[in-house]
Every structure is written in C-alpha cells, then in structure tokens.
A and B are shown apart, each in its own frame.
Chain A
Amino acid sequence: MSQWSDEPKKPGSEGEHDIDFLNGSSRRAESESRPPIDSETADYIARIEMEIEAEVKSKRSQGAFPPAFERRLKTIFEQLVPPGAGNSRRDFEALLRSSDRAAYFDIDVPIASQKPGVARLKKLLRMTQAWYLNYLAQQLNNFSTNLMRLLYVFDARVTKLEKSADSRAEVRSGGEFLKPCYPDMRETDGPVLQLMGQHTSRVLVADCGDGYLVARLRESGVDCYGIDSFGDDLEKPFAPHLDLRWQELREHFEEISNGALSGILLQGSIDLLPANEKLDLATEAGRTLCPSGVLAVLSIDPVFFDSSPDLAVQRDVAPGRPFAAETWQFVFSRLGFSSISVTKMGNSNLISGLKQGEHAKDSAARP
C-alpha cells in the first residue's frame, strides 16, 4: 500500500508494487487521472460526459444560447476568477476562447424594459442610430477578427515550437536510450557518501533512480531527498519511506529559493545535455546552495563512450557531449566554487566544490 502518497488508488495497482515515497509518484497529471473504478464504469461515465458535451455543442449550434446571454453569465464567472489567471496551457486556452467570444461587437442592444413605453423608445433609438453604429461596429469587428486570427496563428506557431522542444527534451531525458550510461552506484558510492555525508541539512540527489543513494545518505543521518525525471525506477524504491519525486530538475530548481540546500548531487542525464543547459543547471544549483554548501557532479568520463560502438553512437546522436573532468573544474571555478576536487570512480568522475560565501551556514556542515 502506498503510505506516503495520496494518489488515488488505481485499477490493478494494489499488490503490484509497494510504492513508499513521501510525495507521491508524480507531479504530472496525465498518469494520475485514471479513476479508481473498473473500466466498465469508467467507460459508462466517459460516454455520459461525451453525450453531455455533444448536447452542449448541438444546442449552441442551434442558437440556444444567444451571445448576449452567454456574455452576461460569463461575466458572473469571471467575477470569481479572471480568465487566464494562471499560466498553464489550459489558462491560455481559456483566455483565448474568452477573448474570441468578446471580440464580436454586437449592436443589437437589448431593448426590454418593465416601464411602459420605454422598450418602444429604445427600439426607436436603436433603429435611428443603427446606420451609424453599424458602420463603427463593422470596422471594430474587422479589426478584432483579424487580431484574433493573428493570435490563433501565433498560438499555432508557438505550439509547433513547443512540440519541437518537447521532442528534443524527450531525447535529452533519454528514456531507455540513455539509461545504460548511468554508473552503478552500489559499487562506487563510497566517495559520494563521504562527500555528502558531511551535511545534515537538506541535500538533493538529482536523477536519483530507485533512491539507493538517498537511502544510504539518510542512513548516515543526512536530510536527503531525490528527484528523477524518468519516474520508472521510482515505482520500485530501494527502501520504503524515501522522499523521492518525479520531476524535471530545471522545474524543481525554479521552485526552490536561494540558499535552501546544503548539498546537491547532479548525475545521470546531465551528461548528454547541451553545454548551455549543463551550465544553466550548474548555475541554478549554485543559486540554491547555502554558503559552504557542496555541489557535486558525477559525470561519466568522455573516454568511456569510446569503449563500445553502441556508446559512441549514443554520444554522437545525443544533444550534447559529456564534459571532461577538467571542463567541469573550469565551470566550477567560473561559478565561484572553492576547494574543487576530482575523484575517479570507475568510469565516472566525481567533481565537487564548495560554494563560497561571506557567512558560512554553521548548521550546514557537521562539526
């Protein structure tokens, strides 16, 4: 049973894996929307929802909801939350739809009135002014239609770019393609444990896999957690009750304040990222470290990729090349780290450095 997760139980999930991590398996929505019910019931509800959607569409097309009517009710909705208040794709689409609906200028002013004769007067005014308002409204509608068309074209172009970036990210994050490159920490964890074990306050292990290192560090008293962009290994954690999360490293850094962490270990997919992304991540890591905090990069030696044809292909088609230990040392030094060292660990290099700061955080390091 999932003890740390509040993810709703999913069909067939019980008894398959013992998922025991603090934050639930994921921050991603797509894997979490499956209902905790049998597929027949789910299909039934899905069918009902589709029928409701079809009914709404059909009524709209038959003019059951005049624009003025929809606009009035929409205004009441928007009093609660302005459309597009968030910055998700959904918010953007809501804002675009809302703008599209508001883009039409209707000169058909409502003329109903409870006072006798006023409706007739309004009708008369509307008729007498129609020639003038129509002229203005036509120009405004032409402009707003073109503007909305422009926005839709922009949206299509940006979406295309996003998709292109997504597909590159998929290659970058590697999936099964990059996984064989990961060093097996079970044989070479000594130097990492020694380095990170000096810190009792919050330590992040990136691309943590099944959480082996997180578990070992917690055993030695380190307040440690891990994130992983693959997620597969999180389903079979090395030990129960680990704080392991499924999240992209860049996204995670964006949600951490300056100086919050006392140690960061970067490893795994960072090796084959483009150089600019490696540098961005290293910079972000430096920002989130407290003074005297340690940044370590466990990087596969570039020479190792020449040891087999498969690895050479993997390196050559990847978006970026692994850095040599000397390059990482240079990067660390440019980012202002001190006490930079390199430790050879099998096919990998462990590069580490201490963040410099005027006021070292006493609580960060053990006496």
Chain B
Amino acid sequence: MTAINSVAFVTPRYGEEVIGGAEHAARMMAENLAQKLGLNVEVLTTTALDTDTWANHFPAKTELINGIKVVRCEVDRGRTTDFSTFSGRLLKYPASATNEECNRWIDSQGPVSHSLLESIGRTRADVVLFFPYLYHPIVRGIFMVRERSVLIPAAHDEPPAYLPIFQSVFRSAKALMFQSKAEERFVDSVMHVADKPRLRAGLGIEARAKPIQPLSSRLPKLNGEPFLLTLGRVDQLKGATLLSELFAEYKRRNPGPLKLIFAGPVTTKPIEFPDITSLGPVDDDLKWSLLNECVGLVNPSAFESFSLVLFEAWSLCKPVIVNSQCQVTTDHVKESKGGFAFSDFAEFEAQLNRLLADSSVRVSLGSNGKHYLESNYRWEIIAEKMGKFLNEVFTAGTELPRRSGPA
C-alpha cells in the first residue's frame, strides 16, 4: 500500500517495562505502523531503563518485542554525577549557553551509546524516526541520516528547549511530526522551522480488548467509595503537589466520602492527607479498573505534549479535569467538550462539585470525549495519516538516499 517499505525508530529506551508517555507512544507507533501499514519496523535503542542513571538494564542484543525488531545497544556512559548541578546552572539562562556548554549538557545527560550511533549510521530503513528530541542518541544521530530523518520532538515549553544546540537538531530533520497544535506553535517559534514539512497527527489510542476487572477484587479497601484518579508520574513538576493541595482544601471545605488516588511511580510524594492515596506504579489491568470506576480523571500537569491519559479516560466515557496552564490538555478539553479546565481553586471546587452532583454532566462530558477520540485518535486513523505523510515527503520528487552496508 505504501512506497515506503521500512522505518527505523531511534529512542533512548524501549520496551513494555518502560513507563512514560513518550516512550509508550513510541512503542505504540512502531507496533501500529507495522501492523496497520505492513511496514518493516525496527527500533534502535539502548539497554537502559532508568532515565535518572541510564544504567544498562536489558541485555545488549537484538530481540523481537510484539513483532518489532528491537536492536539494543549498550550504554557507554549514563548520566554523569555532576549533571544535575551543571544543568541547574545552565538552564537558568539556556538561550545564552555556548556551543561547548550545550555539548557538555547533551553528553552529560546521556545516554551515550557509540554502538547505537553506529547502528543509526548503518540502518537501511527508508525513514528514520527520532523520538523525542532531548537525548544524546537523537541529538548526535539525526545528523547522520538527516535526509531520511523525521523528528517527533514531544516538546513543550521547558528550559532545555531553549539551548541553542536544539535549533540545529530541529533544522537537521527532513520533516517533523507533532502531537498537538500547541507543540507545533512552540517549536516553530523557538526553533524557527516553520518551513519544514510536518504532520500533526497526535497519538492513537488502542481500543481495549481485554475485559476490565472489578476494582473491588484489587482494591477492596476502597469499598465502592467515589474517587478521583490521576495517572502517571507522581511529581511536583507534573502537578502532584498542586493537585493534592487543591484536593485537601476541597475536602476541608466539602466533607464527604470522595477520595483522590494517585497511580504511577512516585518522584515527589503528595501531601499527607487522609483521603489521598498513592498506589505507586500499577499494572495495566489495575489501571483500567481504576479508570473504569473513577468519578473522573484529573491531569494537573502544566507540561504535556499530548496526554494519553485523557484519551484513556475518554475511551471509557469518563470526564476529565485539567490544569488550564497546560495549553495542550486545555485545547483537547475545549475541542472535545469532554471535561473542565481549572485555573484556580475556586474553579476546581465548582467543577468538582458539579461533576459529583450531576451524573448527566459526567455522562455528557465523557461521551463527548469518547466521540472526540473515536473521530480523531484511533490508531487506524493515525497510522494511515503517517503512512501517507511519509510517502509524500520521502518519495515525491527526489529519490531516497540510501546508505550502503548491513542493516
């Protein structure tokens, strides 16, 4: 069906064990391009799992994961011990960083894998997709295959994006793929790449095939009490502290059985409060059970490049509440009419009261969200868009430059 036959993904970590929005999205994209478009897909990645250290975790070998060939290359150097201090200082004024400082930042952040760079140079894939923009393999690797490269930045307004080195990384890409309008606007304004071919497709959501277990079998102590759910890394930067403070205040002013459940790896503990529970990382089955029985999902993060969790909630017709400081989630909510966006406590309280008091509001918002998802963000739709886009960019007018050598 497509003239492009093969694609390679370059991402610093990959696998079913990898938890994180961007990495999960990369795996879904790779698997769906293979399944839906019949492309030969390979993934070039490292043996790392932990982004704080990039320590070697998986064996360095080629393996098949859900039908995708995954080439794992050993990490030669993970994150350096002085990275945090150096980065903290540099990122206060990122735009004025020198070339030398930028290079040091990239190298210190890691993961540095020379064998991965060699694999990128050797790949014979028609198109090489780099995902996300921030890490060493992407920054160093994209220059090696620039005429075949697509950068999927997963960028948002964060200090590292202003390091001058990233402008040349973005410029080196032949084409760009964005997950949201807000991301596209941000990248164009900071990286000055408005001339690049681009696709704004978002990410696809897989319809859940497995039946969802009742939550009582996994979390009996909840005892059927209503709860709000927040999914993903529990981190101050992701709004965990904000949400727990807002919720505690809400409960002080509005006593009742409502609880707040955090489900995800904990970086910053939410505040101690009787009705707030942090479950830590949860498996997929428990995640879907939680989603299925929650009153609604809250995403308090101010920084999101797409926010898959909103769509997971909408897939079960659950309403969402988002932080209006985040343009991406606010755009989704406005366009779908599938939830509310709060900008202060007063709004949060009023929105939550309305959700709790009126089941028709919950149903209506959840249904709107589901409709939005079904119309725009199923993998069938996204993969089709991606296939056509890649063909148009890489086969129209010019022959694809291929590198010789073994795959």
Contact = CB atoms under 8 A, between A and B. Distances in A.
B188 interface: yes
Contacts of B354: 48, 51-52
Contact of B192 (A32, A35, A55, A256): A256
A4 interface: yes
Nearest to A80: B302
Contacts of A76: 241-242, 245-246
B241 to A, nearest CB: 7
B325 A80 contact: yes
A85 B334 CA distance: 21
A6 B195 contact: no
B239 interface: yes
Contacts of A33: 334-335
A65 B249 CA distance: 11
A221 B398 contact: yes
A288 B157 CA distance: 25
Given A52-B351, A70-B344, A73-B246, A204 B195 contact: yes
A210 interface: no
A86 B336 contact: no
Contacts of B345: 65, 69-70, 73
Contact of A200 (B236, B346, B398): B398
Nearest to B180: A6
B237 interface: yes
A241 B392 contact: yes
B157 A35 contact: no
Contacts of B361: 48
Given A42-B337, A74-B344, A223-B397, A22 B325 contact: no
A56 interface: yes
A73 B201 CA distance: 36
B350 A218 contact: no
B376 interface: yes
A324 B181 CA distance: 40
A73 B237 contact: no
B389 A4 contact: yes
Contact of B388 (A37, A221, A241, A288): A241
A80 B171 contact: no
Nearest to A57: B346
B79 interface: no
A3 interface: yes
A1 B145 CA distance: 33
A261 B397 contact: no
A59 B349 CA distance: 11
Interface residues of B, number: 62
A310 interface: no
A312 B147 CA distance: 49
B197 A80 contact: no
A261 B157 CA distance: 26
B400 to A, nearest CB: 13
Contacts of A81: 302-303, 325
Contact of B195 (A22, A37, A79, A225): A225
A56 B350 contact: yes
A255 B376 contact: no
Interface in B346-391: 346-347, 350-351, 353-354, 361, 364-365, 368, 371-372, 375-376, 384-385, 388-389
A304 interface: no
A6 B384 CA distance: 12
B397 A200 contact: yes
A22 B171 CA distance: 19
A257 interface: yes
B200 A24 contact: yes
Contact of B368 (A22, A37, A52): A37
B349 to A, nearest CB: 8
B90 interface: no
A22 B242 contact: no
Contacts of A218: 396-397
B330 to A, nearest CB: 10
A342 B370 CA distance: 57
Interface string A193-228: 000000010101000000000000010011101000
Contacts of A36: 335-336, 368, 371-372, 375-376
A252 B196 CA distance: 11
Most buried by B among A80, A222, A261: A80
B188 A255 contact: yes
Contacts of B200: 5-6, 23-24
A301 interface: no
B192 A4 contact: no
Given A36-B372, A52-B340, A3 B384 contact: yes
Contacts of B351: 52
Contacts of A4: 199, 385, 388-389
Contacts of A163: none
A321 interface: no
Nearest to B194: A255
Nearest to B243: A76
A260 B171 contact: yes
A74 B323 CA distance: 13
A169 interface: no
A180 interface: no
Interface in B21-74: none
Contacts of B236: 79
B337 A35 contact: yes
A54 B85 CA distance: 47
Contacts of A74: 344
9 contacts: A22-B199, A32-B335, A37-B371, A65-B346, A73-B345, A74-B344, A80-B237, A223-B397, A256-B192
The 4 closest A-B pairs by CB, nearest first: A255-B194, A221-B397, A257-B192, A255-B188
Given A80-B323, A221-B398, A288-B195, 4 more contacts: A36-B372, A52-B354, A70-B346, A223-B397
Interface of B: 157, 167, 171, 181, 184-185, 188-189, 191-195, 197-202, 236-237, 239, 241-242, 245-246, 249, 301-303, 323, 325, 334-337, 340, 343-347, 350-351, 353-354, 361, 364-365, 368, 371-372, 375-376, 384-385, 388-389, 392, 396-398
